[in-house]
A and B are shown apart, each in its own frame.
Chain A
Amino acid sequence: MTLTPVAPTIRSRPVYAPLAAVPGHLHLVIADGEGAEAVTDMLERAPDAAGFLALTHFLYCPGPTGTDLSDRLQALGAMQFFRAPTIPALLPRLQRVLTDAHMGSRFYLAGSEGLIGQAERDIMATGFPFAAIQKEHRGSTLRRVQCVHCKGITENVATDPFQCSHCGLNLFVRDHYSRRLAAFQGVNIDAEDPGEVPESVVRFT
């Protein structure tokens, strides 16, 4: 398994690149599911994996489709390893780490776009330049989507269109992405002709 390919569409659609170890005094590596493999691949390429791990704090949770490679990451023997059961349980820990973090810390995000986006949002909120946050998308392509009408967010969207889990509108899933919300945008597809909804297809797995 390698980097999940992303077809370039519009400028706002996030793109990803393989992780690479860079100089820093703390490496905060945040991953879910198959993202663990992006991390082990990076370590194989790193000139000094042991030195990197001695400064590494892992935050990990299973992916949206259930992939759990915690054991593999834990076995690497990093300075700290934290496993959360879910992304919502992982994020408060990230907040806690960010409160005390200093410049010289580096960020590596890997796995689903939902995890990458939400971790990026929280790191970016500190003022750290988002372009310096490394991101490698692996595994599930399920999307986190904001309904542009009711503003509710639906996690793990698989089909397009789908029904907003908050207001019930039929939403077309756009590639238009908000870094601040960490979500793709969903737009009502039958606004002009209520009820005329194209057949829903599975686009994200």
Chain B
Amino acid sequence: MSGVAKLAVRVADVVPVNDLVTRFRFEARDGSLLPAFSGGAHTVVEMDDHGTRRLNPYSLMSDPGDRSGYEISVRRDDAGRGGSLFMHRHVRPGMEMVLSHPVNLFGLDSRARKYLMIAGGIGITPFLSQIAQLSRTGGRFELHYAARNPALGSYMDRLQAAHPDRVQCYFDDDGQQIDLARVLSRQPIGTHLYVCGPKGMIAWVLGTAERMGWPPQSLHSEEFIAPPVGQPFTVELAASGHTLNVGAAQSLLEAIEASGVDAPYLCRGGACGQCETKVIRCDGQLLHNDHWLTPEEQAEGRKIMPCVSRAAGGTLVIDR
């Protein structure tokens, strides 16, 4: 299958972090070191959920200096398509699983003088590996981390204990919010901003920074979107001659893969651009959910990102 090379791993540890988040540690089945990665990288976890194949991207949160294992933290999404529920309910220590090689779409720009990090909820995970990396190299950073309340602030204690003067926490339940304009206005020239969290937060941070004169090249964000659940629809694969039905809880990419057609992907979250596919005809409407195509490209309707986007109201014909 497409995507990057696979790693055969065994689940070494499953640790509940709080009511919603569980941490998983994976080690190579043959005991070797895992491939090196850099802070901000993610891996795609393959799950065999009782016959349904699920591939979900998760940021690596462990120290990039430690190649004896990879750690991820998964937030349970009870209304999601089932990947996070599978991880929480069925993944146990000792289980054999398959991960993709790490891919970094949210790497630290090593030219920056300082890193301003803004995290919301489970969006903290890429920052954990980035901060571990910066702690080794002595890089300057400042983290602003918002969570619903202290109990759901995963790894807040650990971060505040290790970096008391660099980590600032905020709790939605207490009505606390980062004073973004103030924080943005006092960053030394050469600072790069990294934001990861819910969609609304990312849009607010990037929009405010841009209005305050931060150039786009200094702004970095990451949000993996889970493929949204939608109405079933029909797709014709022009190159391979298949006609398929895409189920309500299935992504277009998953449907293509289930039919045995090899389709490219990397992130499976609408962020990397790898799965871009030409639309040959669409009788209905394209429902774009990705971060990759520009708004103009989305409006033109000549391309689709099958990992997260769908169609509705008529047949879709794509070049695959």
Contact = CB atoms under 8 A, between A and B. Distances in A.
Interface of A: 22-25, 98, 101-106, 123-124, 126-129, 131-132
A23 B189 contact: no
Interface stretch (B95-103, B209-217, B222-230, B239-247): B209-217
B237 interface: no
B136 interface: no
Contact of B217 (A102, A105, A123, A129): A129
28 contacts: A23-B212, A24-B212, A25-B185, A25-B213, A102-B186, A102-B187, A102-B188, A103-B184, A103-B190, A103-B212, A103-B214, A103-B218, A104-B184, A104-B212, A105-B189, A106-B215, A123-B189, A126-B113, A126-B189, A127-B111, A127-B114, A128-B190, A128-B218, A129-B111, A129-B215, A129-B217, A131-B215, A132-B218
A105 B113 contact: no
Contacts of A128: 189-190, 215, 218
Contacts of B113: 126-127
Interface string B183-214: 01111111110000000000000000011111
B212 A132 contact: no
Nearest to A27: B213
Max count, chain A CB within 10 A of own CB: residue among B189, B192, B213, B217: B189
A98 B214 CA distance: 16
A47 B216 CA distance: 22
Max count, chain B CB within 10 A of own CB: residue among A25, A103, A105, A124: A103
Size band of the interface chain B makes with A: 20 to 34
A22 to B, nearest CB: 7
B112 interface: yes
Contacts of B189: 98, 101-103, 105, 123, 126-128
B187 A103 contact: yes
B188 A101 contact: yes
A122 B192 CA distance: 17
B112 A22 contact: no
Contact of B188 (A22, A103, A106, A132): A103
A106 B218 CA distance: 12
Contacts of A104: 184-185, 212-214
B71 to A, nearest CB: 29
A123 B188 CA distance: 12
Contacts of B112: 127
A109 to B, nearest CB: 14
Contacts of A131: 215, 217
A51 to B, nearest CB: 13
Contacts of B217: 129, 131-132
A24 B210 CA distance: 9
A22 B213 CA distance: 7
Contact of A127 (B190, B211, B214): B190
Contacts of A101: 188-189
Interface in B104-132: 109, 111-114
Nearest to A123: B189
Contacts of A23: 210-213
A129 B112 CA distance: 8
Contacts of A132: 215-218
A104 B114 CA distance: 14
A129 B216 CA distance: 9
A202 to B, nearest CB: 38
Contacts of B184: 103-104
A124 B112 CA distance: 10
B272 to A, nearest CB: 21
Contacts of A105: 189, 213
A141 B110 CA distance: 33
B277 to A, nearest CB: 29
Contacts of B210: 23
B274 to A, nearest CB: 24
Max count, chain A CB within 10 A of own CB: residue among B109, B213, B215, B216: B213
Contacts of B216: 132
B243 to A, nearest CB: 45
Nearest to B190: A127
A75 B294 CA distance: 43
Contacts of B212: 23-25, 103-104
A111 to B, nearest CB: 22
Q: List the 7 closest A-B pairs by CB distance, nearest first.
A: A127-B190, A132-B215, A24-B213, A129-B217, A126-B190, A127-B113, A101-B189
B213 A106 contact: yes
A123 B217 CA distance: 14
Given A106-B215, A129-B217, 5 more contacts: A103-B190, A103-B214, A106-B213, A126-B190, A128-B218
